[in-house]
Amino acid sequence: MERSLEEYVLSSILIQNAGDIMLKIKKQHLKRCIFTRRLFSVCFLFILFTSPLFVSAVFSQEVSSKQSRPKGEADVITGCTTILVGRQATADGSVMMAHNEDMGTLPGRLICQQSQRPSQEEVEINYVTLPQVEETYGYWASGNSRSVADSLYDGGWILCGMNTSGVSLGCNTMQTREEPIPRGKGILRYSIRQLVLERSRTALDAAHLVGTLIDAFGQSGSVVAYCIADRDEAWLVETTNRQWVARRIPDDGFHVVANQYTIETEWDMASEGLVEYAISQGWYDPSGGPFNFKMVYGDPDRMDRPGDTLREHQGRSMLQEKIGAITVRDLLSVLSSPPVQNTGTQAFMVWHLRKNMPHEIGHLMWHGMCGANTSVAVPVYASSNGMPDAYTDALFEEDFESAWWSFERLQKHLYPQIDTYAESFDDARKAMDAFQESIYKETADIESKAMGLWKRGDMEKIRALLSHFTYDKMEDALEVARKVYSSLK
């Protein structure tokens, strides 16, 4: 989706509360090319003297074009941001991870897959055949709707998720100088994500699995950073089509990654031929200094793009002073703040992985459809096993029976909406904030009840209690979104 520079400036100014100048401008005037150019000049001067950093953000919005992706990829915004937080950096000693999944205007869905005992000895998954495991873990997965998956990604759809063992996964696309592996060969990133959720007992298992699959088959099409966490630790695995490096996040720190490589000269695991392959391609000369993964394997034409750097800086600046006291609310605040959030957010998640609770209660994924600034986060437990039908799919076209399209129209209307944004957003957000606060309180209450059941050893009642709670809160969130939108009309 190509947008003009003027449109980005106008949208971003409104988001940063510099919209006082814009409120008096009528929509029809904005359509006039000459006036828009004059307005751009005025706004540019205004921002230039008030927020130099924000000027950089405005001019850094990168939108993927068909020429900048492997053939066949969807024409979507690539602005994903992930934050991995070690257990000593959080307020309660849990491991946390937060993620904005920015797939542009592609509809999304949420699915709960039960554990399975496959009967076949092998499994075919895009685009490889693997030995089947005796039993797969159940998991929750957020990703593309069925129509998007079938038409654009050969059925691959999983973007993020959490399995019943608490292994949690988010991904960000990367830009490598490597020649891509053609579609139909190698293993697709969607398949790697599915296998991670099905087969990984720990985050370390998942990191090893990602590397093993890339070593064996190569990664087809676009490449990604796999952000992985469990209740003990968090790992970042940055990949190319044929190579990979993995770094464990320090327990007393956090790491923010956008759509660019961040691992440079230090890592904990890597593909065996990482350095030798780079030398053979003429990308690295050992006499020139230490090997730097980011500089050697990153696409030099798309290195350190301001849009990526700004999102990473925003996350670090909001969390640096809170190390040792980071909470779910802090991470949701980052996800809802521009430039981390944009209007292309398909879904957002915060994983809260607590070791001081049993798995069934302690593994929690806060999930919301579309952007965090115009939505609400609902608690999804690893042991929950169902959701309303409205969440399970969405058509390519507007379909307000689906949860995704219901939240998407709210996102489109409020973030930003030139004529009514400043007037209506406060009331809309107040209603949604009130609902979000009620969910926080109810979550604490329901977990207290669940812990009481755990002390009595009644695991079936725990699963039933948390499943009903997740289901009910999803229904409530959808109802709130529809009511808020109706009030705005």
Which residues, at least 6 apart from 369, have a Cβ–Cβ distance to it below 8 Å? Answer: 108, 110, 346, 347, 375, 391, 403, 404, 406, 407, 408
Question: What's residue 342's pLDDT?
Answer: 83
* Residue pLDDT, tens place only, 210-257: 999 999 999 999 999 999 999 999 999 999 999 999 999 999 999 999
- Do 101 and 237 lie in one domain? The reply is yes
416 lies in a domain? Answer: no
- Do 31 and 76 lie in one domain? The reply is no
For 356, counting Cβ atoms within 10 Å of its Cβ (0-12 exposed, 13-18 middle, 19+ buried), the class is exposed
How confident is the model over 293-318, as a mean pLDDT?
A: 96
Structure tokens at 63: 């939108």
117: phi then psi, degrees, rounded to nearest 5: -115, 90
pLDDT tops 50 at residue 40: no
- Do 319 and 270 lie in one domain? The reply is yes
412 lies in a domain? Answer: no
Q: Among 380, 396, 412, give the residue marking a domain's end.
A: 396
pLDDT tops 50 at residue 419: no
- Do 190 and 41 lie in one domain? The reply is no
Where does the pLDDT of residue 78 fall: very low under 50, low under 70, confident under 90, or very high at 90 and above? Answer: low
401 lies in a domain? Answer: no
Rounded distance between C-alpha atoms, residue 234 and residue 168, angstroms: 9
Where does the pLDDT of residue 18 fall: very low under 50, low under 70, confident under 90, or very high at 90 and above? Answer: very low
Identify the bridge partners of residue 229 per DSSP, sorted by sequence position: 168, 234
- pTM (predicted TM-score): 0.85
- Do 44 and 92 lie in one domain? The reply is no
DSSP for residue 416:
T
357 lies in a domain? Answer: yes
- Do 51 and 80 lie in one domain? The reply is no
Question: What's residue 427's pLDDT?
Answer: 83
| Residue appearing with tokens 């900048």 | 68
- Do 386 and 455 lie in one domain? The reply is no
Q: Among 381, 396, 411, give the residue marking a domain's end.
A: 396
Rounded distance between C-alpha atoms, residue 202 and residue 207, angstroms: 9
- Do 312 and 452 lie in one domain? The reply is no
407 lies in a domain? Answer: no
Question: What's residue 429's pLDDT?
Answer: 85
Rounded distance between C-alpha atoms, residue 196 and residue 188, angstroms: 13
Number of domains making up the chain: 3
pLDDT tops 70 at residue 185: yes
**Residue 154 is part of which domain span?**
70-396
Q: Among 396, 430, 462, give the residue marking a domain's end.
A: 396
- Do 28 and 161 lie in one domain? The reply is no
Least confident of 83-87, 369-373, 390-394: 369-373
What single-letter amino acid sits at 32? R
- Do 260 and 361 lie in one domain? The reply is yes
- Do 440 and 359 lie in one domain? The reply is no
Rounded distance between C-alpha atoms, residue 371 and residue 162, angstroms: 20
* Residue pLDDT, tens place only, 437-457: 999 999 999 999 999 999 999
Rounded distance between C-alpha atoms, residue 419 and residue 396, angstroms: 27
Question: What's residue 416's pLDDT?
Answer: 60
- Tell me the CATH number at 300: 3.60.60.10
What single-letter amino acid sits at 23? L
- Mean pLDDT score of the chain: 86
* Residue pLDDT, tens place only, 339-367: 998 888 999 999 999 999 999 999 999 99
- Do 459 and 338 lie in one domain? The reply is no
64 lies in a domain? Answer: no
How confident is the model over 145-157, as a mean pLDDT?
A: 96
